[in-house]
Amino acid sequence: MSVKVKLECTCGDIVVEINDDWAPKGAARFLGLVEEGFFTDIRFFRVVTKPRPFMVQFGIHGDPEVSAKWRDNHIPDDAVKESNRKGTLTFATSGPNSRTTQLFINYADNSFLDGQGFSPIGEVVENMDVAEAICDEYGESPDQGMIQHKGNAYLEKSFPNLDYIKKAYVIED
């Protein structure tokens, strides 16, 4: 089964198709977060384009209280059934069984991530050009711990040009 989700972003809209055959636990988590409105005013806080295109990461909530609720709410790993090719959407991890709410869109063929347990849950099916145009001015400078504890207030003050997801929702074909 697959479901399309529109990410309405400050830089334009991106449509991802989530495929639960690829990674059922990850797909269920992402769709549950979309359904509850988690991806509202969510910054793209890590954009790695140099020395070569790599990825754009998002998924730390702008409200520290909401972030705290999810910080230790891990989901078990899914087997890697699809490769981390350009345009795939994948949960970030910090080790085995550590996925929570952070995801990234691959900007290139990052198949080297496959053997590290990064299991794509879907892919960009509309407007990959918009995903690739997300502001990369700050690279990896935003501090994830500060985002967790200070939220969007920290990001707006220190990194005012970050693009963000205004809202995300399931769309019908």
The amino acid at 140: E
126-139 tens-digit pLDDT: 999 999 999 999 99
What does the mean pLDDT of the chain come to? 97
> Within 10 A of 173 (CB to CB), how many other CB atoms are there?
6
28-70 tens-digit pLDDT: 999 999 999 999 999 999 999 999 999 999 999 999 999 999 9
What's the pLDDT at 172? Answer: 84
Q: State the average pLDDT over residues 89-104.
A: 97
CA dist., res. 39 & res. 59, Å (int): 7
What's the pLDDT at 168? Answer: 98
User: Length of the chain in residues, anyone?
Assistant: 173
C-alpha distances (whole Å) from 140 to each of 20, 135, 165 are 30, 12, 18
17-26 tens-digit pLDDT: 999 999 999 9
Structural domains present in the chain: 2-171 (2.40.100.10)
Segment holding 163, helix H or strand E: none
Residue 121 has pLDDT above 80, yes or no: yes
